[in-house]
Structure 1
Amino acid sequence: MSRRTLAGRCYCGAVHYVVADDFAYALNCHCSDCRRTTGSAFKSFAGIARERLTITKGAEDLLIFGEENANNTHCRHCGSLLFSVVREGAYVHVAMGTLIDDPGIRPSAHIFVGSKAPWFTITDDLPQYQGHVVPSDAPPD
């Protein structure tokens, strides 16, 4: 278990969080939902057990789209996507762009490239998957 924690925050600074630097996996998602919620070509995210992330400032400023155990959590003021609650509420997918500190993990693949933005070209050598993939080192659902 990692003792190092990473700090993260939204664009306007209303919401801050800490998360253990002990992510199980990291991916670049090109699905249309991730593109729309981030306003970019893809969302780089790192997955970790939900209880490993703690809101340290601005819990009352969260805007949640979805249900308790399946949602996208944003800042109510600036709209920054902070994380997504997934896998029946067991995990969060932290939007890596909101991390202040450098995590010890890097994305290992591109997923949902079958629906990627037509104007974006993937230029790295990471594996590309047409749909969803669960990394081999990720805990089972």
Structure 2
Amino acid sequence: MLNGGCYCGAVRFEVDDAFLYAFYCHCSRCRRRTGAACAAIGGIEIDKVRIAEGRDQLLKVDESEDGYRCLCKRCFSPMVDVIREHRFAHVQLGTLSGAPARRPDHHIYVGSKAAWHSITDALPQFEELPP
């Protein structure tokens, strides 16, 4: 079990340490959402993510039939994206207090990565999504 939460501590969540996949995303949307060169994301079934504190402090944005993004209403930290018809979640790995067993093992959207950022590891890189 891993614990996570927002910057101000108003929202806390638990997630099973059972990520199906993990990656670094370099798309321009993730850069703008996180303010970083890329986002570190872990994918998991939605029923393995539980809000422990601050459910009333969750702000759902970009809602659609497919899913939504969860931010803290107070500090606006991005935490979890509910995706694929509300069946899966993309957890921002930087919100976790511990290290997940599954680490990011590839980079996506490197075709649009920040010009000032160099990828220095040997992980596979994909211009967009893996085949």
Distance in 2 between the 1:133 and 1:44 partners?
Answer: 16
**Structure 1 unaligned blocks of 5 or more:** 135-141
Give the TM-score, by structure 1 length.
Answer: 0.88
Per-residue deviation, 1:41:
0.5
Per-residue deviation, 1:18:
0.2
- Percent sequence identity is 45
Q: Which among 87, 98, 112 is matched to residue 90 of structure 1?
A: 87
Q: Please say which of residues 23-32 and 68-77 is displaced more in the overlay.
A: 68-77
Give the TM-score, by structure 2 length.
Answer: 0.95
Distance in 2 between the 1:41 and 1:6 partners?
Answer: 25
**Structure 2 unaligned blocks of 5 or more:** none
SS for the counterpart of 1:67 is coil
Q: Which among 110, 122, 128 is matched to residue 119 of structure 2?
A: 122
SS for the counterpart of 2:124 is coil
**Paired residue for 2:31?**
35
Q: Give the paired residue count.
A: 130
Q: Which among 95, 100, 103 is matched to residue 97 of structure 2?
A: 100
SS for the counterpart of 2:118 is coil
Distance in 1 between the 2:63 and 2:47 partners?
Answer: 17
SS for the counterpart of 1:23 is coil
The CA deviation string for residues 7-62 of structure 1, in whole angstroms up to 9 with x for no partner, is 00110000000000011000000111111111111000100001110001001111
State whether structure 2 residue 68 is matched by structure 1 residue 71.
yes
